[in-house]
Every structure is written in C-alpha cells, then in structure tokens.
Amino acid sequence: MSTVQVRKLYKTFGEGALAVHALSGIDLDVDKAEFVCLSGPSGSGKTTLLNMIGGLDRPTSGEITVAGQRVDQMDKGELAEMRLRRIGFIFQAYNLIPVLTARENVEFVMQLQGVPTAERKQKALEILKEVQLEGLEDRRPAEMSGGQQQRVAVARAIVSDPELVLADEPTANLDSHTAERLLELIRHLNEVHGTTFIVSTHDKLVMGYARRLIKMHDGKIIDDTVQR
C-alpha cells in the first residue's frame, strides 16, 4: 500500500474572477521509503500540495490518503492526532522553540505523545547523535548555526518514527555546503529508517538527491521521473 495517495485533488483560493486555482486535478502515489522532490516555480502548487497532504489546509475537492487514512475526511482533532503521530514536518524557518534546548525541542513532540520522561530523553539524545549534534544537546537555537538548527528540526521530525516526513524548502536558508550535509542526512535517514520523504524545493541540489523528481506548473504535475 502507498504511504500517500492523492486523487483528483483541487484547491481554489478566492471566488469568481479573483479565484486562484492552486491545484488542478492532482493524482499522485508515493510508496513507503520513497524520497520524492516536488519542484517548480513559485505559484506552481508544490507547497499547497505539501500542506494538503499534511492536513495543514483543506482541499476544495478530491481525496488524500496517508498511511491508509483519509486525511480529507478528518475533523480538526483527528488531523492533529495524525500530524502528531504519523507525519513529521521540516519547515524552511526551522520553527524551533527559542527557550528550549536542542534536546528539549526534540523531546517536545514525544512529550505531547505522552512518552515517559526517561524514554524521551534517551531517544532525543540518540537521534541528536545520529544527526551529528552530539555535545550540542543543551544549546538553545540562538546559540546554534542555521545548519545546526535545521538538523535539530530534522531530529524532531523523525524521532517518533513517522511514516511520512514533509519538508518545505528545507535548504532555503543554508549555504551550499551546509545544504549538502543536510541532504546527505535526509538520504541516510530515508535509507536506514525507511522513512518516506516528500520535499518541496527550488534548489537543484535537492532535486539531485531525490530518487524521484515531480515537476509542477500551474497546479498540475507536468513530469514525474524516477532518477535512480
């Protein structure tokens, strides 16, 4: 079974002459452990599609299934539970909590899940070591570089072993060397953990790392290529 299934997905913002058709009949299947890149110019619909899959926004019409569950039919509480337990998010702006340390930021999702204190601390330390942040566990975001903050964000996204991780322009604020290290990490996690990654980007470096490249334009998929 596919991790993600999208059928006849439409999203329109506004009405009448001012309506913007952000997605126009998207059909998409993403299998478990795929590393997929959504590319295209601004306004092509890639971030909107990512938000729909993650339950951050509602479609105008169509079906979205994640891990066997119909996201488009869920209420707010069910969507929150899905995002908490089945989907990890990596944002362009990192979205770390400034007053928390790296370890506490990674623990935060597990705290919401009700994981016992000792267990979540151990898991947080293990995943921070895996993303090469050992020794920086007690630093707050302001005491870390952009690349280090993004690694904390990646650790937070995957610590609970979600079926799916959605990343929106994850390299946008990073220099090319730091971006390449981040992408090596994502590929490692994809291969070792079997986590499904869907990444939206303008960055050709990201496109080169993904195993499957989906090009979008005007709310439609215009090309879908397996790269390796």
> Tens digit of pLDDT for each residue in 12-37?
998 888 888 999 999 999 999 999 99
Q: For the domain 32-58+75-226, what is the CATH code?
A: 3.40.50.300
- pTM for the model stands at 0.91
Q: Considering only 91-95, 107-111, 129-133, 166-170, which range has the smallest mean pLDDT?
A: 91-95
227 neighbors 210 (Cβ within 8 angstroms): yes
Which residues, in sequence order, are CB contacts of 15 under 8 Å at separation 6+? none
- Give the mean pLDDT of the chain: 92
Q: Which residue has the tokens 């079926």?
A: 163
- Residue 160: the pLDDT is 85
> Tens digit of pLDDT for each residue in 200-223?
998 899 999 999 999 999 999 999
Amino acid at 1: M
Q: How are beta strands 220-226 and 212-217 bridged, if at all?
A: antiparallel
Sheet strands (E) in the chain: 4-13, 20-30, 35-39, 61-66, 69-70, 87-90, 164-168, 196-201, 212-217, 220-226
Which DSSP string do the residues of 161-201 spell out, in sequence order?
--SEEEEESTTTTS-HHHHHHHHHHHHHHHHHH--EEEEEE
User: Could you tell me the residue ranges of all domains in the chain?
Assistant: 32-58+75-226
> Tens digit of pLDDT for each residue in 65-123?
999 999 999 999 999 999 988 999 998 778 899 999 999 999 998 999 999 999 999 99
